[in-house]
Structures are given as structure tokens and as C-alpha cells.
Amino acid sequence: MPNIIKVFSGNANPELAKEICDYLKISLSMVEVRRFSDGEIFIEIGENVRGTDVFIIQPTCSPVNDHLMELVIMVDALRRASARRITAVLPYYGYARQDRKVAPRVPITAKVVAEMLMVVGVRRVLAMDLHAGQIQGFFNIPVDHLYAAPVLLKYINETFKNVVMVSPDAGGVERTRAFAKRLKADLAIIDKRRDRPNESKALNVIGDVMGKTAVLLDDMVDTAGTLCSAAAMLKEAGAVEVHACCTHGVLSGPAIERLEGSVIKSLVVTNTIPLRGKAKECKKIKVLSVSHLLGEAIRRIHSEDSVSSLFV
């Protein structure tokens, strides 16, 4: 059993990596990540890793290709430096929405990413709230799939009263029903049609939201079109307030402008993806930390303890 643990981070989310190291009561290991003048990425590990249990904290968020290449190259550097085992910690798994063929002659890019990580030398994956659960099956190595539910449930329970949990589409009903059950709250669903990627149209509200605090729940918010149109419908249906919760705050394109101009009073996200630019200044956004969940999972993986109690 390995007795030395080292945690490394690329440029994707060093703040989260530092919080995880604080939980584990260890120092973040040294690595140099820089670029040559032509944009090529260079990685140099700054300390001995021979025979160690290595964890790389690197959500593959925007710019996804840069962060994915950083991860792949860092894994190769660690493998060549004789690390005992390399675990990729992916709080956010980029390309997860390309998880199946939705048209002729299109790729399944989530599978391609999985194959890249396995080929380069990753021997275990720790992920959080994968967009599609079947992505676990794209790997031929162990995948520990955590959920931010404990963090979000605690916040909702302590912050809101007279809640109705709302799924923004049919695909999220199972997740939202689980939250509603634990909160002893009612459930509502937005009937939505999507015409093309990043564009959707909400049609009607299924369920009673009259006089209640509506909390929209999703695994991620990208351009915020779905959430904002759903929130407007909930207001029209009689909701007193509308809030939104999600694990991954992608917040690309017009997301912040839409959020600022919407009836949504607050958007709760976790720190799987760091807020940048206008998102950092948006007063509607509240960030919760999942560092203790990831840190505890890393501790248990390293000590060969069961991780299953964290899968809630």
C-alpha cells in the first residue's frame, strides 16, 4: 500500500487544489506549467515522485483543450518519473455532453477523452456530477463518481423556506426528485423543447408552484438560456421567488447578461469550475466549496478505504 501522497494541479483550478491540500493537511506539489512562444505546453515536475500515489486536480473547463492537454502532458511526465499510480481528479469533465451519437457521422467525444487519459497513463479517475452517468463505462479503469448533492442540499435546507424543487427539463427529473424527497419538498417540471445546441424553448410548467419558492436544479449552467426562460415561466405560474442551483457553473457566452436580466434571485454553483471575468462580479452568484468531498475521496482512495459512502 502506498504511503506517500502527492497532489498536483494544472492551471485550470489551482484554488480548489489548494483547498483540497488544506483538507488533507499536505502541501501542493511543485510543477512548472508554461508555454513556448508557438503555444505548445511545457510541463516539468518539480520534485521526486518515484513510487508515490499521485493525484492531479484538473477540471477540463474553458479553455477546455488547453486544460486537457495540460492534464495529458502532466500524466506523461509523472509516469516517466516513475509515479506508482496516477489518479486524474476531474471535478468537471469537459466534452461530457458529447456522450452519444445524436446525428449521422458525429463523434462520441466523451469516449475519445476517456481513451486519451487511459492511453497516457491514468490508472484511476475521480469525477463529480458527470453530465451522463454512462461516461463511467467509457473507462476501463476504476471511476469514482461523486455528487455535490450534500453541499447543495445543506445550503437549500438552511436558506429557503416553502420550497418546490424544479427540474428544467425531463432529463433532470430523477436528480430533482431525489433532492425534493430529501428536503420533503414538492416537485415541478419544465416541459422544454431544444431546437439546436445551446438553444432551447420552455413550454409549460408541470406541477404546482403557486406561492412557493421555486428552486431550479441542474448539473450545469452554460449559456443560462434554459434557466432564465424556465424562471420566467415559474414566475408567471405564481412562484414567489425563483432561485437556481447547479454543480458546474460553465457560464459561457451571454450567460451573465441573461442572468442579470432574469427574474432569478440567486444562482448557487460549486467551485468545480473557477469563476472568471464578469461571473466573479455578478452579485447573484453564490459559490459553495466541494473541496472537502474531493479531499475525503482522495484520502480514502490513497488509504484503500471504501469511497461508497460518499456516493450520495
Distance CA 279, CA 227 (A): 16
Q: Which residue has the cell 468531498?
A: 293
Exposure of 108 in the CB half-sphere (CA atoms within 13 A):
11
Our answer to whether residue 235 is catalytic in this structure is no
| Selection from 22, 113, 133 nearest residue 71 by Cα | 113
Distance CA 128, CA 253 (A): 23
Distance of CA 90 to the CA centre of its chain: 8
Distance CA 252, CA 147 (A): 22
The C-alpha cell at 246 is 447547479
Distance CA 55, CA 77 (A): 13
Question: What are the start-end ranges of the E strands in 171-312?
Answer: 186-196, 199-206, 213-221, 241-249, 266-270, 285-288
Burial per residue of 254-285, b for 16 or more beta-carbon CB atoms within 10 angstroms, e otherwise: ebbebbeebebebbbbbbbbbbeeebeebeeb
The C-alpha cell at 262 is 432574469
Q: Which of 161, 192, 284, 286 is catalytic?
A: 192
Distance CA 244, CA 266 (A): 6
List the catalytic residues: 192
